[in-house]
Structure 1
């Protein structure tokens, strides 16, 4: 085959690949309108009554209060720097959580009603609810880990409503794998500079994805 024809064929193939890649891109999620946003604290459900979706692993790792507080700070920072929204958070969220928890002891309620009550207490139109389902700390260092980090997290955007609350969910679950175990993770491996990252760093990746997927 003449060189010109070979080059022409190669160019057509490349054009075709770019067109396929362009068509395969998913649409960006619809952005939430300008409403009053509330941000709940990170919690870890330990029984089915606290779950909004999914299930609790039988060997669930207990996340420390210190870790939950760090996740709160990291998520708040990301939301304040990567979105253009103002969030009701901090003391307001904690106070309303404690008030609703006390009410729950007197009048048992499911997880959806519970968080809706928290949102009503905060006077929020939409309440962002981050939850840690399971957690695997990294054991070892950046160069060599005896146990890789893993996180199982849910992020919810709850439309607060007295009568019919509605909810959207983004689920993030990943355990870091070596490149030799899964070549499909090559982009992630290079993005992480070929290092074994901590569970907190992995959780931050989940937070960034949640911001995008929930249209925050």
Structure 2
């Protein structure tokens, strides 16, 4: 009898959390004031070696993301900035020109640190701020919307570099989707995703939304 009661209570609590989450608004407000100054936004990159990342380390080296992933993430990033009404920035296509210049200038020299490289790109662009997004882990779900053998999992890094002050702010997003019963605290996400198992691209989209907001963008 006690076991039956506890299961009923648990189910009721889960349902209550899910309904509460579904009734809330998904509108976000920036966590900090919007950064001031001339902004450039780099396209997503996929570091596969530790010397290519700006902070931390990779769990495993040498594992690139699938073809087409970076282009898809660039599109989501552009749409998210537009939705957040961030329009006045130098685009990834323009930043790429300075990325090529810095690579050329460093050719023949020992590998430069990721920090020195991206700071050099920012100085080449003559901007105050440079946003550098990176995807460091990508695992697609194995299964369907209704059930999976392996859930999707992603890790994203966002670095907002203050070029003149030579410092940066880091925002990290890491998620492996779990079911509602595994973690009741994810009830809002569970409701927002229609109670389904989502793709890695959907996880990444949520991460871009969350971390741009955290950075004030």
Q: In structure 2, what is the equivalent of residue 34 of structure 1?
A: 36
What SS class does the counterpart of residue 106 from structure 1 fall into?
A: coil
Contact kept, 8 Å, 1:78 with 1:208, in 2: the verdict is yes
What SS class does the counterpart of residue 79 from structure 2 fall into?
A: helix
**2:107 matches 1:105:** yes
What SS class does the counterpart of residue 154 from structure 1 fall into?
A: strand
Give the TM-score, by structure 2 length.
Answer: 0.80
Greater RCO, 1 or 2 (C-alpha within 8 Å, sep 6+)? 2
Deviation at 1:81, TM superposition (A): 2.1
**2:161 matches 1:158:** yes
Structure (1 or 2) with the larger CA radius of gyration: 1
Q: Distance in 1 between matches of 2:64 and 2:146?
A: 26
**2:84 matches 1:87:** no
Deviation at 1:140, TM superposition (A): 1.5
Deviation at 1:199, TM superposition (A): 0.6
Q: In structure 2, what is the equivalent of residue 43 of structure 1?
A: 45
- The 1:60–1:135 alpha-carbon spacing in structure 2 relative to 1, beyond 3 Å, is farther
Q: In structure 1, what is the equivalent of residue 127 of structure 2?
A: 124
**2:71 matches 1:69:** yes
Q: In structure 1, what is the equivalent of residue 56 of structure 2?
A: 54
Deviation at 1:60, TM superposition (A): 6.1
Deviation at 1:203, TM superposition (A): 0.4
Q: Distance in 1 between matches of 2:148 and 2:61?
A: 21
Provide the alpha-carbon RMSD of the alignment: 1.9
Contact kept, 8 Å, 1:137 with 1:150, in 2: the verdict is yes
Contact kept, 8 Å, 1:150 with 1:199, in 2: the verdict is yes
Q: Distance in 2 between matches of 1:90 and 1:167?
A: 19
Show CA shifts across 1:100-119 (max 9, x none): 12223334421111101111
- The 1:151–1:60 alpha-carbon spacing in structure 2 relative to 1, beyond 3 Å, is farther
Deviation at 1:66, TM superposition (A): 0.9
What SS class does the counterpart of residue 38 from structure 1 fall into?
A: strand
- The 1:166–1:41 alpha-carbon spacing in structure 2 relative to 1, beyond 3 Å, is same
Aligned residues: 188
**2:202 matches 1:201:** yes
Instruction: Give 5+ residue unaligned stretches, structure 1.
Output: 1-26
- The 1:153–1:84 alpha-carbon spacing in structure 2 relative to 1, beyond 3 Å, is closer
Contact kept, 8 Å, 1:43 with 1:68, in 2: the verdict is yes
